[in-house]
Amino acid sequence: MTLTARTGPADRTGSAEPPGETAPWEGRPLTDHWDTVRALVRDAHPRQAKPASGDGDPAGFAPDGELPALDGPLRGYLAAAGTRVTRLPDHRGVRWQLFDHCAVAGSRTAQPDAALLLVARAVQHTRRTGRRIALLAPSSGNLASTLRDALLRAHRYGLVHPDQVRVVALVPAAARHQVADSPLARHSELRRRNPLVVHHGAEPGSVHELAAAYCRAHARALRTGTGTALWYVRDPVEHRAAAALRAFVEQDALGAAPAAGRVHAQTADTGSAVLGHRAGSALAADGAPDAAGPRPLLVQQPRTCGLVLHLLTGSCSREGAPRYRYDAARRLHHQAAGSPDPHFPRTAHHPEEVVEPAFFTRAPGTAPEVSALLRAHGGTGIVVSRYECLARYPSLRALLAPAGVALPADPARLADWSLVMALTGALNAAERGLSAGPEVVVHRTAAHGAADRAPVPGALARYADSADELHAVLTGALDDRRRSR
């Protein structure tokens, strides 16, 4: 693969300056390294001999891995993605950096990079084939918001007509409040074409089961009746391609890593970002045999800690989790006395509590690959509880303020806990001796304020708890002979 020439800011090495004396580094990694991104996605999805027009199995349809060439409109479209690197105060003699992937003004929900790539890939499909395409995206509320925002940007910059590419976001009921209101909800025709579908399942992850069942039962009839190819989006390569650029950001903003490598702390659901970051490090090193790659520190919550469990026990089963005793007086659960497992919370409100609903995958299929990567490259994982996050919350507000990240004074107004989880996990890991090194990088991938953007009103959403109900919604969205309700 040929690396692109970097068109962003000049390299800056070292981190010797104390916080407050070094200006933050800002860059646009998607546009700076667009040819590398195109190559990563194309290599994962080689072009077929015939255009992927949807003539194969409708249930397994996916477009070729082609992305558009970079031009003026596409550059404007991609400008929604950017990263700011800011020095945080040192902790116990270790340098700390914040990689803020939500730094671009207007990026008020979550890191938009993967969503921008998904929509751009759909755009290129329609350009090549002339066929319409609809993305069926079961996801957390954050990803649903970024996909819907990316589609609006594609309209705004003239990349595609609203009729050609549509997004059907399928979210668990617990995550509906995380889907930001926008013209896709307020404009009646855009709302019909791009419905937000809410699912009341026993588990948040059942949105994936519903999407898979729907494709098996109805994808062929949907394509026959509407002429639209349905792309069921699941753990797409675009997530890994976007995460690969973190290695280039690290290189551009911080220079070469110390010999011991940098610890990269991030919350994780399936670990796709960790896998992508490692692949990007190999590209950024450009064959240098002694280049120090990232040392991942995965941070998870008690309810969905499958990656940490698999790393430690070889299985995602909760049988490998430590036992807790209940303290009725304080209404808290504590690890049993003796030798507590430092990878798990010492104290929690519940042994299987949810800290951030956006993470709902309990047994990710990527677990073996992630475990192998962590073992090979000095990584580890840690689980944090809401109790631990709340205990550190005042100090985290003070820690982040100089970096321009203002956590709300009242934790109840925190709409996304992922950054608080990542920082709590990184600090716990350092203090418990789980991770050691001269430098720690914490990744922020989601915004946090409940007041940043209002959610889509419930009355403007659609609801589906079965494949047949979802078929009625999709038929209404894709059959233009129907009128908006």
pLDDT number for residue 236:
72
Return the axis-axis angle of helices 367-376 and 306-313, rounded to nearest 10°: 60
Residue 55 binned pLDDT confidence (cut-offs 50, 70, 90): low
| CA distances from residue 335 to 126, 322, 344, 434 in whole angstroms, order as listed | 55, 7, 9, 18
Task: Kindly state the average pLDDT of the residues 447-453.
Answer: 64
Residue 485 binned pLDDT confidence (cut-offs 50, 70, 90): very low
Which of residues 19 and 191 earns the better pLDDT score? Answer: 191
What pLDDT, in 10s, does the model give residues 137-160? 999 888 899 999 999 999 999 999
pLDDT greater than 90 at residue 291: no
Task: Give the mean pLDDT of the chain.
Answer: 89
Residue 59 binned pLDDT confidence (cut-offs 50, 70, 90): confident
Strand order in the sheet with 83-91: 25-27, 83-91, 94-100, 439-444, 263-267, 295-300, 380-383
Task: Kindly state the average pLDDT of the residues 120-142.
Answer: 94
Task: Kindly state the average pLDDT of the residues 342-364.
Answer: 95
Tokens at 238, concatenated: 């675009």
pLDDT greater than 50 at residue 6: no
pLDDT greater than 50 at residue 399: yes
Centre a 10 Å sphere on the Cβ of residue 402 and count the other Cβ atoms it contains.
14
Report the range of poorest mean pLDDT among 5-9, 24-28, 377-381, 438-442.
5-9
What is the helix (H) or strand (E) element at residue 209, kind and residue range?
helix 206-226
Task: Kindly state the average pLDDT of the residues 447-461.
Answer: 80
Task: Kindly state the average pLDDT of the residues 112-138.
Answer: 96
pLDDT greater than 90 at residue 52: no
Task: Kindly state the average pLDDT of the residues 349-370.
Answer: 94
Task: Kindly state the average pLDDT of the residues 198-217.
Answer: 94
Task: Kindly state the average pLDDT of the residues 465-478.
Answer: 96
pLDDT number for residue 371:
98
**In whole angstroms, what is the distance from residue 120 CA to residue 455 CA?**
25
**In whole angstroms, what is the distance from residue 327 CA to residue 330 CA?**
6
Task: Kindly state the average pLDDT of the residues 116-128.
Answer: 97
What pLDDT, in 10s, does the model give residues 229-284? 999 998 778 999 999 999 999 999 999 888 888 999 999 999 999 999 999 998 99
pLDDT number for residue 237:
84
Return the axis-axis angle of helices 206-226 and 467-478, rounded to nearest 10°: 40
pLDDT greater than 50 at residue 8: no
pLDDT greater than 70 at residue 2: no
Residue 13 binned pLDDT confidence (cut-offs 50, 70, 90): very low
pLDDT greater than 60 at residue 135: yes
Task: Kindly state the average pLDDT of the residues 369-390.
Answer: 97
Residue 4 binned pLDDT confidence (cut-offs 50, 70, 90): very low
pLDDT number for residue 95:
95
pLDDT greater than 70 at residue 412: yes
pLDDT number for residue 484:
46
**In whole angstroms, what is the distance from residue 249 CA to residue 444 CA?**
14
pLDDT number for residue 140:
85
pLDDT number for residue 109:
65
Q: Do β-strands 295-300 and 380-383 pair in parallel, antiparallel, or remain unpaired?
A: parallel
pLDDT greater than 60 at residue 450: no
pLDDT greater than 60 at residue 3: no
DSSP character for 164?
A: T
Residue 415 binned pLDDT confidence (cut-offs 50, 70, 90): confident
Tokens at 431, concatenated: 């203090």
Q: For the chain, what percent of residues have pLDDT higher than 70?
A: 89
**In whole angstroms, what is the distance from residue 85 CA to residue 249 CA?**
8
